[in-house]
Amino acid sequence: MLKILANDGMDSSAVKHLEDLGHKVVTEFHELDKLKQVINQYDVIVVRSATKVREELIDIMADGGKCKLVIRAGVGIDNIDHVYAESKGITVRNTPNSSSASVAELTIGHMFAISRFIGISNYTMRNGEWNKKQYKGVELAGKTLGLVGFGRISKEVAKRANALGMDVIYSEIMGEQEGYDEYRYVEFEELLKESDYISLHIPFIKEKGAAIGEKEIALMKDGVRIVNVARGGVVCEKSLLDALNSGKVAGAAIDVFEEEPTKNTELVNHPNVSVTPHIGASTKEAQKRIGIETYTTILEFFK
Ligand SMILES: NC(=O)c1ccc[n+]([C@@H]2O[C@H](COP(=O)([O-])OP(=O)(O)OC[C@H]3O[C@@H](n4cnc5c(N)ncnc54)[C@H](O)[C@@H]3O)[C@@H](O)[C@H]2O)c1
């Protein structure tokens, strides 16, 4: 029998599956101090983004010798000191395949929102306003969408954008991808210059800093719209806000923030911004798939 601590919770059908196989799953949230006391009772810890698995917790796990597997139920593993963990003999896995469709749909939803004043209309109408004349939007059809990074999520966005009649271009550090002739590979700088919409689908790497800052925004078309459902910090919030205020950027959609929960009220309250509180993977379907990918990983690991 395996003892599994799903510290940020786990889809109930995944819990049931593991329990039916005779394993014990605890889904209670433990703060770090408590977590340090109990971690060595478990074989596996599963986390989403709330629980941080930093060096001090990893040291306790390594000393205890029982908890050998950390699973991030999601994509980004920036809340886990994964290189350190691996150096201490603790395996770190994520569930990269489960949430792409959900994140892609949110991306497209945000693109509509910042093109048609959907968010701000909801807000102002509830205050009794009827701003019909102010809310003249733009169509997505016929516009160029620049995708930065061409991995799992980006490809799902590309498919949907293509179906909406957008021209899709992409930049990718691994170079042009085979089998995607309907989309055009371009250098990053060219993408910045050509796109009407720019959506980023890359990890945040602290040492590299923001992929989009003042310099990159200066190269973009006037009236460009920017979407960040990837990771906080990938787009520099200060540069983005300045560009929204100057009108250089006509709209921005943000699901992920430099600090979460964000305190950047000026950005959140900007009338040309559409925001969501890091809900890219928060759909019933994605959570179910994440649950399946999580237990499959656990069962494979201990086979
Ligand atoms: N909002 C959410 O809730 C949510 C949910 C899931 C994933 N994400 C984030 O979405 C991002 C993409 O996820 P994915 O599953 O598509 O990852 P992926 O690894 O499949 O794709 C990322 C791609 O970006 C490329 N890349 C990295 N840096 C680049 C750069 N500077 N320029 C161009 N290309 C670059 C990589 O080579 C890779 O092909 C991740 O940051 C992930 O954390 C967010």
pLDDT in tens, 94-140: 999 999 999 999 999 999 999 999 999 999 999 999 999 999 999 99
Q: Determine the distance separating the centroid of ligand 1 and the alpha carbon of 126, expressed in angstroms.
A: 36
How does residue 23 score in pLDDT terms, banded at 50, 70 and 90? very high
- For residues 217 and 224, give the distance between their C-alpha atoms in angstroms, rounded to a whole number: 9
For residue 76, give the ligand 1 atom closest to its CA: 43
Tell me what pLDDT residue 270 has. 97
Note whether 267 and 237 are within 8 A (CB): yes
Tell me what pLDDT residue 138 has. 98
Whether 278 is a known active-site residue: answer yes
- For residues 149 and 140, give the distance between their C-alpha atoms in angstroms, rounded to a whole number: 20
Catalytic member of 48, 72, 225, 231: 231
Tell me what pLDDT residue 132 has. 97
For residue 96, give the ligand 1 atom closest to its CA: 15
Nearest to 71 by CA among 52, 54, 87, 93: 93
How does residue 148 score in pLDDT terms, banded at 50, 70 and 90? very high
* 222: exposed, middle or buried (Cβ count in 10 Å: 0-12, 13-18, 19+): exposed
DSSP secondary structure letters along 81-118: -HHHHHHTT-EEEE-TTSSHHHHHHHHHHHHHHHHHTH
Q: What is the pTM of this model?
A: 0.94
Q: How far is CA 218 from the centre of its chain?
A: 25
Whether 260 is a known active-site residue: answer yes
Nearest to 36 by CA among 78, 79, 2, 7: 7
For residue 153, give the ligand 1 atom closest to its CA: 16
Catalytic member of 19, 260, 266, 285: 260
- For residues 155 and 170, give the distance between their C-alpha atoms in angstroms, rounded to a whole number: 10
**201-213 average pLDDT score:** 95
Nearest to 147 by CA among 78, 228, 86, 80: 228
Question: Among 153, 275, 283, 293, which residue has the most ligand 1 atoms within 8 Å of its CB, making it the best to mutate?
Answer: 153
Both structure tokens of 158: 């590309």
Q: Determine the distance separating the centroid of ligand 1 and the alpha carbon of 41, expressed in angstroms.
A: 34
For residue 256, give the ligand 1 atom closest to its CA: 1
Ligand 1 surroundings by CB, under 6 angstroms: 74-76, 96, 99-100, 103, 148-154, 171-174, 201-203, 211, 229-231, 255-256, 278, 280-281
Tell me what pLDDT residue 139 has. 98
Per-residue model confidence as pLDDT tens digits over 30-51? 999 999 999 999 999 999 999 9
Whether 23 is a known active-site residue: answer no
Q: How far is CA 106 from the centre of its chain?
A: 10
